Amino acid sequence: MIVLTAVLTGVCLLALLPVDQMWLLPLLFCLGFFLNGTSSVLLDGVADLFDSAKRSRGYGLYFTIYLGSGAISPSLYGLVGDDMRLQSVFVAMAVVSLPLFPLAGLYYLSRRPGQA
């Protein structure tokens, strides 16, 4: 599920490139839907990655990274948009989100039953 939501997020970001501003808002709604799904799936993944004794630290790490990136990324993408144009922001967001696909694949392979 992590792979699916990461791929759909990247695809939606790239699909925004040729879109006229009038159609941008409905597509951003779809993008938000996939981003919300990614967040929920990743929260579930934290429980899988950490044993019960260290789970609170895992969630602490997850939320620190999640909230920190949420605070910093609008400024960084704003600088990209100011320096270049709006399409460059979507390309930058896609470039940042698409590497999650192979990472999610590695996570899936490491969690397969019968493997340590």
Q: What is the pLDDT of residues 78-103, one digit of tens each?
A: 888 888 887 888 888 888 877 777 77
pTM of the entire structure?
Answer: 0.53
Domain extent listing, the chain: 2-110
For tokens 């040729």, name the residue. Answer: 18
Q: Given a cut of 80, is residue 32 above it in pLDDT?
A: no
Average pLDDT of the chain is 77
DSSP 111: T
Q: Which pLDDT band holds residue 19 (cuts at 50, 70, 90)?
A: confident
| 68 or 97: which leads in pLDDT | 68
DSSP 40: H
